[in-house]
C-alpha cells in the first residue's frame, strides 16, 4: 500500500482488493459485535472545505469504532481558511495527529498536503477524485454480484470525480466500463489516457446513455450539478436532458442489473423515483459501505503493527 490514499490511479489492483477484503472483515466484525480497537489512542484530523453528510459521519464513526478519535476542522474556522499555506498545516497536524482526511476542491491541495505531511493523508473528495466512495461502490458490487472481474459497469452523467474514479477502479479490477457524457463534460484527460493503457478490460466513452447501458451489470449515476456548480444548474439541465437512469434505460441492461448512486439523489433528474426505490437496498448498502471501506483504509494506513 501507498503511504496515502490520494487517488485510485496510485493503487494497484492488489491494493484495491486488499482494502476490499479488510473492509469485508470490518463489516463482519461490526455485524457480529466483535470489537477492533486497532486505532486506540490515535487521532484523525478531518479538514472540510466542502460540506458533507456521509463523509463526516462515516469517518467520525469509523474512528470511534476503531478506538480512535476524529477532529472536525472546518475550512472557514481553521487557519487554512485564513490563508495559511497548506504545507504549513500539513507539518503542524503531523506533530499532533496520526492521520489527515481532507474534503476539498483541488486535487493539487491534497497532493501538497501529502507531500509535506509525515502522517497518512486520505482524500475524502476533490473535484478530480472520490476514491473512498468508489471503494465503497466496488465493495457493494462484489457483495451483490460475488465478483468484479468480467462485469460491465455503466456510468451515466457528468465526467466528474465519480466518473474519473469509477473508470480507474473498475478497469483496475477487471471490469468493462462504459461512460455516457454529453459533449463538453468528459472525464479528465489523465483518466482517459489511463484507460487506453488497460489490457483485458474494455472502456467506452459514449454520447448516448442507450449505447452505454447495453448489457450492463451495474448502472451508476450522479447529480448533474455537483457542489460548487450550482451557478451552472440551468446550463447543465439543458446539456444532461435525456441522461437519466429510468426504466427504459434499465431494460437495455442485463437482467438483475444493480443500481448505485453516491447520494444525494435528485429524483426526476439523473434518476427516476421508481428506479431509485426499486434499487434502494443496493444504494443504501453502498452508503453504509462507506463506513466499512474507510475503516479498512484507516486501519491499513494508520494501524501500525496491527496492519
222 known member of a binding site: yes
264 is in an annotated binding site: no
**Helix residue ranges per DSSP H, 50-207:** 54-65, 86-96, 107-116, 131-145, 161-172, 189-197
Residue 104 annotated in ligand binding: no
Q: Is there a binding annotation on residue 165?
A: no
Contact of 102 with 47, CB cutoff 8 Å: yes
Verify whether residue 181 is a known catalytic residue.
no
Dig out the grid coordinates for 99 from the structure.
492521520
Best CA proximity match to 101, nearest among 139, 48, 167, 154 = 48
Q: Which of these is catalytic: 97, 98, 103, 173? A: 103
262 given a catalytic annotation: yes
Pick from 55, 47, 92: nearest CA to 73? 47
- Is 130 designated active site? yes
From 4, 97, 98, 133, active-site residue = 133
Does the active-site annotation cover 103?
Answer: yes
Beta bridge partners of 258: 218
Element (H, E) at 152: strand 152-156
- For 180, the 3-state DSSP assignment is strand
Give the chain's largest Cα–Cα span.
55
Residue 182 assigned as binding residue: no
Is 132 annotated as belonging to a binding site?
yes
Q: Is 260 a known ligand-binding residue?
A: no
The answer to whether 201 is a known ligand-binding residue is: no
Residue 130 marked as a ligand binder: yes
Please check if 142 is assigned to a binding site: no
Which of 176, 290, 292, 294 is catalytic? The answer is: 290
- The catalytically annotated residue of 142, 222, 257, 294 is 222
Binding site feature residues for carbamoyl phosphate: 52-55, 79, 103, 130-133, 262-263, 290
Q: Which residues are catalytic?
A: 103, 130, 133, 222, 262, 290
Q: Which residues are annotated as a binding site?
A: 52-55, 79, 103, 130-133, 161, 222, 226-227, 262-263, 290
Q: State the binding site for L-ornithine.
A: 161, 222, 226-227
Amino acid at each position: 500500500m501507498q503511504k496515502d490514499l490520494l487517488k485510485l490511479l496510485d493503487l494497484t489492483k492488489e491494493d484495491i482488493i486488499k482494502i476490499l477484503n479488510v473492509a469485508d472483515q470490518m463489516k463482519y466484525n461490526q455485524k457480529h459485535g466483535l470489537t477492533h480497537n486497532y486505532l486506540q489512542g490515535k487521532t484523525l484530523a478531518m479538514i472540510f472545505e466542502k460540506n458533507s453528510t456521509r463523509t463526516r459521519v462515516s469517518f467520525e464513526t469509523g474512528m470511534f469504532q476503531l478506538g480512535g478519535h476524529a477532529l472536525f476542522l472546518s475550512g472557514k474556522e481553521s487557519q487554512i481558511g485564513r490563508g495559511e499555506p497548506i504545507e504549513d498545516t500539513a507539518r503542524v497536524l503531523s506533530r499532533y495527529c496520526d492521520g489527515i482526511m481532507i474534503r476539498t476542491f483541488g486535487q493539487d491541495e491534497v497532493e501538497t498536503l501529502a507531500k509535506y505531511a509525515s502522517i497518512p493523508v486520505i482524500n475524502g473528495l476533490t473535484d478530480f477524485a472520490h476514491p473512498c466512495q468508489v471503494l465503497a461502490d466496488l465493495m457493494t458490487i462484489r457483495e451483490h454480484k460475488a465478483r468484479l472481474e468480467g462485469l460491465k459497469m455503466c456510468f451515466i452523467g457528468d465526467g466528474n470525480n465519480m466518473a474519473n474514479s469509477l473508470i480507474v477502479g473498475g478497469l483496475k479490477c477487471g471490469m468493462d466500463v462504459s461512460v455516457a457524457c454529453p459533449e463538453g463534460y468528459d472525464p479528465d484527460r489523465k483518466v482517459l489516457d489511463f484507460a487506453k493503457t488497460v489490457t483485458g478490460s474494455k472502456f467506452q466513452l459514449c454520447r448516448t446513455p442507450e449505447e452505454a447501458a447495453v448489457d450492463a451489470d451495474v448502472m451508476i449515476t450522479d447529480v448533474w450539478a455537483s457542489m460548487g456548480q450550482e451557478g451552472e444548474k440551468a446550463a447543465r439541465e439543458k446539456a444532461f436532458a435525456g441522461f437519466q437512469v429510468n426504466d427504459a434505460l434499465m431494460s437495455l441492461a442485463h437482467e438483475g442489473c444493480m443500481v448505485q448512486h453516491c447520494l444525494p439523489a435528485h429524483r426526476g433528474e439523473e434518476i427516476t423515483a421508481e428506479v431509485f426505490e426499486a434499487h434502494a437496498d443496493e444504494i443504501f448498502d453502498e452508503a453504509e459501505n462507506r463506513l466499512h471501506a474507510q475503516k479498512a483504509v484507516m486501519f491499513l494506513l494508520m494501524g501500525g503493527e496491527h496492519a
